[in-house]
Structure 1
Amino acid sequence: MKTTSITINLSDEKQVMHSFGASDAWTCQFVGKYWPLEKREAIADLLFSTKVDSSGNPKGIGLSMWRFNIGAGSMEQGDASKISSAWHRAECFQSMDGTYDWNKQEGQQWFLKAAKARGVNYLLAFTNSPPVQYTLNGIAHSDQGRKSLNIRKDAMPDFAKFLAEVAEHFQKNGIKLDYISPVNEPQWDWSNEKQEGSPATNSDIYDLTRLLASDLHDRKLTSKVVVGEAGEIKCLTGHIHGDNRSDQIKAFWDCSSPCYLGSLSNVAHAISSHSYFTTWPVSEQVRIRESLDNRIDQIDPKLSFWQTEYCLLEKNDEIPHGHGRDLGMVTALYVARLIHSDLSIANATQWSWWLAISSADFKDGLVYIEPDNTGSQGNRSPDSLEHDGKFLPSKTLWALGNFSRFIRPGMVRVGVEYDDHRSLTDAANSIMASAYIDKKSHKLVVVLVNCLHEDQIIKISNLNGSLHLANNRFDIYTTSETSDLRHGSTPADDIHIPARSVVTLIGHELLL
């Protein structure tokens, strides 16, 4: 059995971790409204719970952020929305006459309350399109070739007011929306009629953010605006589309930019992006994240990077069958590697998956649903899945849990070096290691991703020699083909991890 030796530098402090999350689009609108309560509660536990069973195994992955989609009204339009699948439409709180119906999005509101009840730290509301009553074409996605926000010129203040009204309603009813993200993947034209969406220029985002920030301030709300949600990381770091929808770190966070947002106190000091199209080959995954980190250092070294959406769209040597559903370790390890890269190379403080629940034959869910009687994958018959079915946790759920369940808000990532000085690319193809400390509880968290087909021995030291832990032991949590965050214990100087696994080590009473 081969040995990998790593050294943890407890004094080499990196980023302060914010949260791990997933979104309620779009399946939660049916599951949360119609499914039997017992099944809803069980799914919510898988996503949000930080409790353990009698053997110490986690009951869920303890997400610390929940992303709530504020719909634009395509559901009410039905077929007139031109979005063919009802599963990709969304209701809107505001009616066409300007009145509000707070019973809308009932299923999503159920999961929002379930997240809060289970102690999820942060709630974020995001939009894909302005409400249809404000759009230029009267629907919730754009016309082909459009580059600016699909909104009437006179309606931008109304859109901002709508978002603030939603935030105020929830806060008055005991659910604070900590963040509002008003645009999503603004680089795409969103004309494909598959879901709600709108492009937006940097100027659009700047104007909308200023209006929204002002409205939130006037209402004395504490919600903060988060900008970005770029379609891919390269849109943050340079001009790749030849128009005013990229180079967004400079656009929003360079104080000389006409779109500078740093003077607005209720805009989060962060830039967000999605990790699509930047994962393969692995050397490119590494290079793009190094470039992102360098760009942030150039413009604003204190700026946080949030990776706010990802699911697998790839077809490559590791994912030979493309985007079809996979509940196993192939997809889970691919995702775990990406999380490691986003956290350890791009220094992400926040990391979110796309769909918490999926009904599709696609690699986009943490928990999958399907009919009880047929076992068919991705069946979207209204008579079956809208009202009931069975749910299937994926290995991707548990692999994300190796990070989200144990790396809690406020923990600090610290430096890790491989004793054989392997490159970041070589590590990403073999054994990846990242480490985090909780200064208050003196807890050490080490996440190991083993992409190799052989078991490994891991030797861990710090710069001053041995780690000083309670009883010289780690709690160990393993996700593999046969384990879902299975709990165990291991001597700190004799750590064995299985082939093709994600492992989290927890050390207590760390001497800092």
Structure 2
Amino acid sequence: MYKIKIYHLFIFVCVAFIGATACTKKDNGISPGNDHLKFLVLADNPKQTIQNFGASDAWSIQFVGKNWPEQKRQKIAELLFSNENDDASNPRGIGLSAWRFNLGAGSAQQGVASDIQDAWRRAPGMLRNDGSYDLEALEGQRNFLRMAQSYGVDQFIAFVNSPPVQFTKNGKAYSSGGSSTNLKNEHFVDYAVYLKTALETIKAEDGIAFNYLSPFNEPQWNWDHSGQEGCPWRNSEIASTVRIIDSVFASTTLPTKVELSDAGKLTYLYENDGDATRGSQIEAFFSNNSVWYIGDLEVVAKKISGHSYYTTYNNKYLLSVRENLRAKVKEFGSDFSFWQTEYCILEDNEEIQGPGRDLGIESALYMDRVIHTDLTVANSETWQWWLAVSPYDYKDGLVYIDYNKDDGDIYESKILWTLGHYSRFIKQGAKRYDMWRSDNKSVEQSIDGIYASSYRNSDGSWVIVITNQSDIDIPVQVGIKDLDDLTFKLYETNADPETNLDFTLDISSDETIEVKGRSIITLVSDTP
């Protein structure tokens, strides 16, 4: 429980501070007698509009959504999508607003012949060898698609790791090598027709129209291993394929836009990073001086998407990548934006490693730093995680389950609840606002200490997320420029296994709390 102190001198967010050095786990910069740093939400300085927070149904939902007991399916759906509270005012779920649906290539139907040894990483495909479509092959995924919609999710993205195996050069859902696509030349039009037909079929059967389609996933990787479905794409091949998709989709009533380009690393969006044929993708696709310019096509969404993998360590690199990306996106005008569309902890550095399931706070805090900088430095309009449900001993899931296709236990993670500090309260259409802090610390100086971000929803309610990466409790006050007499509900996740996005207390703008070390809190104001 928080310690409450009352101050009537100011309504700023106050956080302990001293000096110009960054707060760290060992030294948070506090000196005796200096226990106030003031944060102020700059309500007259709006930034980007937030579109969604999401996760994907790869790969376990094909089994969970079909085979697991209905009660457990509903529990997982509640954890991911619910916006309801329990009797103690604690959120029942994290209220995701977007759902990424994997259009598989058919490696699941191939079985062991797919060369993908792990059956959980094979993906079922809709396309039969005779050219007809088999919706039942996606039964588990479609069940969760409908459950997401029933909870109020209204943004759906279909993503493709590999074209259907019927269309690939090697008849597999992974490449035989090289940087060029595994899609046969004679099947480019067939691929576009397949994408259109697949989405129209799901719309006709399930009543769900996909907002976006991602036909290329992490095209910078060669995908010449049989660990999962994947396909490389050169920029020239992406441009050619999208032009065909634009022509084919001209006859559909679907609202679907093509999302480019789900880059495997953010640097590929603004520089070559060693691969001129697959890098500098903002310039390649959206500069009208480029031979691969497709930004004027009707089917293309006026945004660029990428994944935050391999750009999160160390802090200087974390920030420089996002600063460079923000600057490049800004060159293309105010109606052009960046979406962060996939991340999990794949890192292997001094601070964290991907292998080893972690339901606790350490991995959650690492993720939180990525979320914070993607939103406040890169100005991403979205933040999306990789596996919504994972059976693995890896830091890749929000919800974890036993490695069992038919039944098992469900395990909640603090990664889940930490993402919920954003997704549960920041809704589509919210504006992010800049914040002032009286110690004048830069993002780099504060990123290992305490930091905050603020948002205003369309209904007028304010959301402030504060993360304390240091080991000690720090006093905090909450306030917004030119606004008095606000009341906030406070939700907390900390190292305690039982404290997960818990409603803690109501506070007013003249109250001071102490943010626990190694914790995240979200403050949600009443609606004016």
Q: TM-score range by the shorter chain?
A: over 0.9
3-state SS of 2:288 partner: coil
- Cα deviation code 1:154-205 (max 9, x no counterpart): 1011011111111111222311111110010000000111000000011111
State the alpha-carbon separation in 1 of the partners of residues 184 and 413 from structure 2: 42
Query: What does residue 393 of structure 2 align with?
Result: 361
Out of 413, 421, 442, which is 1:394 matched to? 413
Query: What does residue 348 of structure 2 align with?
Result: 315
3-state SS of 1:137 partner: coil
Out of 160, 179, 194, which is 1:162 matched to? 194
**Paired residues of 2:390 and 2:398 also in contact (CA < 8 A):** yes
Out of 88, 91, 113, which is 2:146 matched to? 113
**Alignment pair present for 1:71 and 2:104:** yes
Q: Number of residues paired by the alignment?
A: 490
Which structure has greater strand proportion? Answer: 1
State the alpha-carbon separation in 1 of the partners of residues 36 and 418 from structure 2: 23
State the alpha-carbon separation in 2 of the partners of residues 301 and 237 from structure 1: 17
Query: What does residue 306 of structure 1 align with?
Result: 339
Q: Which moved more, 1:147-156 or 1:212-221?
A: 212-221
Matches within 5 A, 1:217-366: 217-319=250-352, 322-366=354-398
What displacement does 1:305 show? 0.6
**Paired residues of 1:227 and 1:272 also in contact (CA < 8 A):** yes
State the alpha-carbon separation in 2 of the partners of residues 64 and 160 from structure 1: 27
State the alpha-carbon separation in 1 of the partners of residues 415 and 313 from structure 2: 18
Query: What does residue 463 of structure 2 align with?
Result: 445
- Cα deviation code 1:68-124 (max 9, x no counterpart): 000001111111111111110011101111111111111111111110111102011
What displacement does 1:441 show? 1.9
User: What code does the residue aligned with 1:475 have?
Assistant: K
State the alpha-carbon separation in 1 of the partners of residues 241 and 36 from structure 2: 53
**Paired residues of 1:216 and 1:222 also in contact (CA < 8 A):** no
Out of 491, 504, 507, which is 1:490 matched to? 507
**Paired residues of 2:94 and 2:420 also in contact (CA < 8 A):** yes
User: What code does the residue aligned with 2:432 have?
Assistant: R
3-state SS of 1:229 partner: coil
What displacement does 1:242 show? 2.9
**Paired residues of 1:31 and 1:387 also in contact (CA < 8 A):** yes
Query: What does residue 477 of structure 1 align with?
Result: 491
**Paired residues of 2:479 and 2:509 also in contact (CA < 8 A):** no
Query: What does residue 426 of structure 2 align with?
Result: 407
Matches within 5 A, 1:8-27: 8-27=41-60
User: What code does the residue aligned with 2:414 have?
Assistant: K
What displacement does 1:267 show? 1.5
**Paired residues of 2:104 and 2:126 also in contact (CA < 8 A):** yes
Query: What does residue 127 of structure 1 align with?
Result: 160
Pair 113,322 (structure 1): closer, same or farther in 2 beyond 3 Å = closer
User: What code does the residue aligned with 1:149 have?
Assistant: T
3-state SS of 1:177 partner: coil
Instruction: Normalising by structure 1, report the TM-score.
Output: 0.93
State the alpha-carbon separation in 2 of the partners of residues 417 and 231 from structure 1: 33
Q: Which has the higher contact order (CA 8 A, sep 6+)?
A: 2
Query: What does residue 454 of structure 1 align with?
Result: 472
Q: Which moved more, 1:168-177 or 1:272-281?
A: 168-177
User: What code does the residue aligned with 1:402 have?
Assistant: H
What displacement does 1:300 show? 3.7
**Paired residues of 2:52 and 2:427 also in contact (CA < 8 A):** yes
User: What code does the residue aligned with 1:332 have?
Assistant: A
Matches within 5 A, 1:51-66: 51-66=84-99
Query: What does residue 468 of structure 1 align with?
Result: 484
- Cα deviation code 1:194-219 (max 9, x no counterpart): 00000001111112222223322212
**Paired residues of 2:342 and 2:386 also in contact (CA < 8 A):** yes
Pair 120,509 (structure 1): closer, same or farther in 2 beyond 3 Å = closer
Query: What does residue 374 of structure 1 align with?
Result: none
**Paired residues of 1:254 and 1:300 also in contact (CA < 8 A):** no
What displacement does 1:431 show? 1.0
Instruction: Normalising by structure 2, report the TM-score.
Output: 0.91
- Cα deviation code 1:11-30 (max 9, x no counterpart): 11100000000000001111
3-state SS of 1:307 partner: strand
Pair 242,315 (structure 1): closer, same or farther in 2 beyond 3 Å = closer
Query: What does residue 376 of structure 1 align with?
Result: none
- Cα deviation code 1:467-512 (max 9, x no counterpart): 324xx321111111221111121232323322111111011245xx
- Cα deviation code 1:37-67 (max 9, x no counterpart): 0000000000001111111111000000000
State the alpha-carbon separation in 1 of the partners of residues 467 and 67 from structure 2: 38
- Cα deviation code 1:414-471 (max 9, x no counterpart): 1112211101111211111110012x4221110111101111112344444xx324xx
What displacement does 1:322 show? 4.5
- Cα deviation code 1:235-267 (max 9, x no counterpart): 001111333101001111112212222212332
Pair 322,43 (structure 1): closer, same or farther in 2 beyond 3 Å = closer
Matches within 5 A, 1:32-47: 32-47=65-80
3-state SS of 1:208 partner: helix
What displacement does 1:317 show? 3.2
**Alignment pair present for 1:505 and 2:523:** yes
User: What code does the residue aligned with 1:473 have?
Assistant: T
Query: What does residue 171 of structure 1 align with?
Result: 203
User: What code does the residue aligned with 1:408 have?
Assistant: K
What displacement does 1:152 show? 0.8
State the alpha-carbon separation in 2 of the partners of residues 388 and 322 from structure 1: 26
- Runs of 5+ unmatched residues, structure 2: 1-15, 17-34
3-state SS of 1:323 partner: coil
User: What code does the residue aligned with 1:431 have?
Assistant: I
State the alpha-carbon separation in 1 of the partners of residues 122 and 162 from structure 2: 11
**Paired residues of 1:253 and 1:300 also in contact (CA < 8 A):** no
**Paired residues of 2:431 and 2:455 also in contact (CA < 8 A):** yes
**Paired residues of 1:316 and 1:322 also in contact (CA < 8 A):** no
User: What code does the residue aligned with 2:407 have?
Assistant: D
User: What code does the residue aligned with 2:197 have?
Assistant: E
Query: What does residue 29 of structure 1 align with?
Result: 62
RMSD of aligned C-alpha atoms?
1.3
State the alpha-carbon separation in 1 of the partners of residues 411 and 361 from structure 2: 14
Query: What does residue 422 of structure 1 align with?
Result: 441
**Paired residues of 1:147 and 1:199 also in contact (CA < 8 A):** yes
